Chains A and B, each alone.
Chain A
Amino acid sequence: KAGVTQTPRYLIKTRGQQVTLSCSPISGHRSVSWYQQTPGQGLQFLFEYFSETQRNKGNFPGRFSGRQFSNSRSEMNVSTLELGDSALYLCASSLDGRGKETQYFGPGTRLLVL
């Protein structure tokens, strides 16, 4: 089976712009979670989607949003980019989203905001 894929792998944006990142889960996985990784804050949970519904959300401002499609692919959007949004954004998928399941991570999208 193919692993979790994320596109694009690298992105450079300027402050005020918006960005959309994409994640394709492992085939058959219905839960997709997003994490932000920065040197200062470490790995932080953004949100989780299951069957096109957001089930769980981390402590991030409303500029961060996401959605999931019927094929389980997910996108996250960040509007009005700030310098502090520069980070590695990781997507992870699991079968049904239960806590006992292992999450499998994609290679990440590295976002640089100038």
Chain B
Amino acid sequence: AQTVTQSQPEMSVQEAETVTLSCTYDTSENNYYLFWYKQPPSRQMILVIRQEAYKQQNATENRFSVNFQKAAKSFSLKISDSQLGDTAMYFCAFSFNFGNEKLTFGTGTRLTIIP
């Protein structure tokens, strides 16, 4: 069974600074997908960024980028120029490629952006 580990329960950073959230996972499969979801206080889960395991290039989405290290099974999220609206729980998640819709989530990192 695959597992997802987020070792930082809480983090805080000053507004406009850069912060990196860590995520490691364990799977014996070679073809899979990784996601970062954000859950603000409103509780709505919002996709931040996704990465296909077969792609070596790291995904980027505006201020958000990932550092995907497949051999190390590491998938960290970097938030640049952090904004107050980035305050949320961030979840790392994993899914297989083949017909399996299940997302396996990490335990989350609570990120607070300090004005």
**Residues of A with Cβ closer than 8 Å to B?**
31, 33, 35, 42-43, 45, 48, 50, 55-56, 58, 88, 90, 92, 94, 97-108, 110
Contact = CB atoms under 8 A, between A and B. Distances in A.
Contact of A108 (B33, B43, B50, B52): B43
Interface of B: 32-33, 35, 37, 42-47, 50, 52, 91, 95-108
Q: Indicate the member of B35, B37, B45, B104 with the most A CB atoms within 10 Å.
A: B45
A48 B102 contact: yes
B102 A100 contact: no
Contact of A100 (B45, B47, B97): B97
Contacts of A94: 101
A99 B47 contact: no
A42 B97 contact: no
Nearest to B96: A99
A43 B99 contact: no
Contacts of A107: 42-44
Contacts of A33: 101-103
Contacts of B101: 31, 33, 48, 50, 55-56, 94, 97-99, 101, 103
Contacts of A103: 47, 101, 103
A42 B91 CA distance: 10
Contacts of B52: 100
B50 A105 contact: no
B97 to A, nearest CB: 5
8 contacts: A42-B105, A50-B101, A55-B101, A56-B101, A90-B45, A102-B35, A105-B45, A107-B43
